[in-house]
Structure 1
Amino acid sequence: MTEETKVFQMPLIGDKAPAFTALTTNGKVNFPEDYKGKWVIFFSHPSDFTPVCTTEFMVLASMADEFKELNTELLGLSVDSLYSHIAWVRKIEELEWNGMNKVKIPFSVIADLNMKVSNKYGMLQPNVSSTQAVRAVFIIDPLGIIRAIIYYPLTTGRNFDEIKRLILALQKADNDHCSTPAGWTPGEDVIIPTATTCEEAEKRMDPSEGEYTLDWFLRFRKDKV
C-alpha cells in the first residue's frame, strides 16, 4: 500500500480507547490505565504557540477544578516536541486574556512527534494537514470506553462549556438510565427509555407521578433533585 493510499481507522463511539504510552509535560503516561475510574477529555491541538490553541488552554486551565468535581481529567496532545510543549505552557502561564489572569496549566500535554498516538485516534486528517492534528475531542468513560467524539476545524476554538454539558449529560444518562433532550442542562426533565412493545406503549399513555407523555414514544420524567 502506498503512502498516498494508506488509511488509518479511527476509533468509534463504543470502542475501547486505544492504549498507548507517551511522554507528557507531567511525565510518562500509560493510557488509559493511569486514568482508570475517571472520565477523560482527551483533546488534540494543531501546534504549540498558535493563537487559537493558546486561548483554549487558558479556558481549560480556568475550568480544571470544575472538571475535577465531575471526576474528569484533561489530557492534551500535539505533534510537537516535549521541550516545545514546556516552553509554550510556561509562556501561557504568563498571559492575561478575557478576565483570565496568569492561569496555571495543570493537565498533561502529550508529545507525539512520531504521530503514533495521533494516528491511532484519527487526529491527523490529510485533506487538512498531514503534519498537524485537527481539534479532536474524545470523551472516555471510567471503563476506558469512548462515549463521544467531536471534531473542530483548525480555525475554530472549542466551546468547553458545551463539552462540560456533554460530560454532565453522559453521567446523568448512566446514573439514572435515561436520555437527555435537546439543550438539556442539570435540573431539567429527562427522557425515559422508549417503549419496545405495543403493551408497553399503551401503558406509557397513562399518567404517572413525576412523569408525563407527549406520545407513546416520548415520555419525560421530572429530574431528581
Structure 2
Amino acid sequence: MSNELKLAIFDLGQVCFRTHQERCYLEWEDMAGIRPGSVSRDFPLDDQYEDYERGTMSGRSYAEYFCMLNELSLDFAEWREGWIAMFGEIIKPTLDTIKQMRISGLTVVALSNTNATHVEHWKELYPELVDSFDHMYLSNEIGMRKPEPRVYEHVLAQHEAEPSQAIYFDDKPENINAGKRAGIESILFDDDAVAALWWKRRPVANAAS
C-alpha cells in the first residue's frame, strides 16, 4: 500500500469562505418587521435540517418549517433572501493553497454539508473557488452528511485512494474526529493559515505525479 499523498479534501464554510449566520437573522427580522434579537439564535440542527442537507426535503418545505418554528411571517423569496445573506469573503490563503496543490498534481475536492438553496447562490458568488476544485461532494447531491463514516468512504472510493493517501481540512471537531476514525490525516481549521502552513511543511515531491 502506498502512502503517497494523492487526495486533498476541503470543507467549504469557514475553511474556503466565511459565513456569518447573524446576517440571516437580522435580514429575517427586518423583513418580518420585528425587533432585532426576536428570533432565537439557537439554530435547529434537527432531523428536518439534516433532511434538507441530504436533499430529501425541498428548500420551500424547509423554509415553511423554519418559519413555523420561529413564528416568522415570511414567504419563500423573503426567507431565501435572508438565508443567502450569510456568505462573506473568500479565505485567500486556502484558495491559494488549493491552486498550489493542484499544480503539484494532487486531486483536490470539496466536501460540504450544504443545501440546494445555498449551492445555487455560492456557485455564482465564488466562481474562482468552484473552478479550483477537481470535484465537489455536496451533501444535498450525494445524500449523506458529515460526520457519517460512509461519506468519507465514498469520497476515497471515488478517487481510488487509501485513507493514508488523503489529507482533510474542516473547521468542526466532530467532522475532524470522524475523518481520523476513517484513517485520514485530518486537520482542524482554526486559523486562516492552517492549510497553507501544512502545505509548506509538506514537500511537493510527496504529491502524486
Greater share of strand: 1
Greater share of helix: 2
Q: TM-score, normalised by structure 1?
A: 0.36
Q: TM-score, normalised by structure 2?
A: 0.38
Larger radius of gyration: 1
Q: Which structure has more RCO (C-alpha within 8 Å, separation ≥ 6)?
A: 2
